[in-house]
Amino acid sequence: QQQVKQSPQSLIVQKGGISIINCAYENTAFDYFPWYQQFPGKGPALLIAIRPDVSEKKEGRFTISFNKSAKQFSLHIMDSQPGDSATYFCAASPHDYKLSFGAGTTVTVRA
Amino acid sequence: GAGVSQSPSNKVTEKGKDVELRCDPISGHTALYWYRQRLGQGLEFLIYFQGNSAPDKSGLPSDRFSAERTGESVSTLTIQRTQQEDSAVYLCAEQSFGPGGLPAGELFFGEGSRLTVL
């Protein structure tokens, strides 16, 4: 039973466009919501993370939006670049322990 | 605490054989996790180590799977009598402990061991 549901499964965006990936969760004990980026043949690496005391966090071209009442959070990639082509996983956990991951979104940025 | 080494990077085995996958975190005294990633799917939790003990083995899919950790460092995941459905990438990750001695913050993943069971 997947505790974090992620969509879409894949998306294609033109260079300079915006990529949006959405995630939803049910467990109200979750209080840590990271996004991981994975390139082929590599392990996932932390991209950005948010805790529920804020509704938005921005780091460079990457922004997490968090809606606690709806139990949803999303990743926005602004000005998408070919180097952003990767698989992105949302995740959630209580107190940083034992992350539950979404199924992943493969992002392809066309030059 | 960055940098996790996993071996082998690729393993092809025949159904019914046993395999051992190794994880070597660079930092000691960290929390250690094993996850499984099936093709096109998310990461599935298998087991968590705190020190050399495994207080959470709830993700191990069957009794054919076992893991141990020694010296609060190297961990080995063993799969006995492998089946085709065991084919996946097995990822190891380490995490630091925060105040209070609980796992905190970023997971640092290795590059994984890709297991193919024929």
pLDDT number for residue A1? 66
Closest CA to B94 of B20, B54, B8, B34: B34
Question: What Å distances lie between residue A80 and A57, A88, B7, B48, B51, CA to CA?
Answer: 18, 13, 34, 35, 41
For residue B10, give the chain A residue with the closest CA: A41
Are the beta carbons of A46 and B33 separated by less than 8 Å?
Answer: no
pLDDT at B28 over 80: no
Beta-bridged to residue B25, according to DSSP, are B4
Mean predicted confidence (pLDDT) in B20-25: 96
pLDDT number for residue B44? 96
In angstroms, what is the C-alpha Rg of chain A? Answer: 13
Mean predicted confidence (pLDDT) in A52-76: 96
DSSP code, position A93: B
- For B33-58, the pLDDT digits (tens) are 999 999 888 899 999 999 899 999 99
Gap from A21 CA to chain B (nearest CA, Å): 15
Distance CA A38, CA A46 (A): 9
Gap from B40 CA to chain A (nearest CA, Å): 8
Reported confidence tier of residue B98, pLDDT bands at 50, 70, 90: confident
Interface test with B, best of A1, A87, A101 (most B CBs within 10 A): A101
Reported confidence tier of residue A2, pLDDT bands at 50, 70, 90: confident
- Three-state SS sequence of B83-117: CHHHCEEEEEEEEEECCCCCEEEEEEECCCEEEEE
Mean predicted confidence (pLDDT) in B17-23: 98
Q: Which residues of B touch A (CB under 8 A)?
A: 4, 33, 35, 40-45, 48, 56, 91, 93, 95, 98, 102-107, 109-112
What percentage of chain B has pLDDT greater than the value 70? 98
pLDDT at B2 over 80: no
Gap from B1 CA to chain A (nearest CA, Å): 13
pLDDT number for residue B1? 40
pLDDT number for residue B8? 98
- In terms of DSSP bridges, do strands B53-56 and B65-69 run parallel, antiparallel, or are they unpaired? unpaired
Mean predicted confidence (pLDDT) in A56-66: 97
Are the beta carbons of B56 and A95 separated by less than 8 Å?
Answer: no
pLDDT number for residue B30? 86
- For A94-110, the pLDDT digits (tens) are 988 899 999 999 999 99
Q: A-chain residues within 8 Å CB-CB of B26? A: none
| Buried/exposed code over A74-96 (b: 16+ C-beta within 10 A; e: otherwise) | bbbbeebeeebbbbbbbbbbeeb
pLDDT at B3 over 80: no
- For A28-55, the pLDDT digits (tens) are 999 999 999 999 999 999 999 999 999 9
Closest CA to A103 of A89, A92, A83, A85: A89
- For B53-76, the pLDDT digits (tens) are 999 999 999 999 999 999 889 999
Contact assessment for residue A108 and residue A83, using Cβ atoms and an 8 Å cutoff? no
Mean predicted confidence (pLDDT) in B89-93: 97
Which amino acid would we find at residue B14? E
Residue A5 CA to chain centroid, in angstroms? 11
- For A18-30, the pLDDT digits (tens) are 999 999 999 999 9
Are the beta carbons of B42 and A103 separated by less than 8 Å?
Answer: yes
**Biggest CA-to-CA distance, chain B:** 46
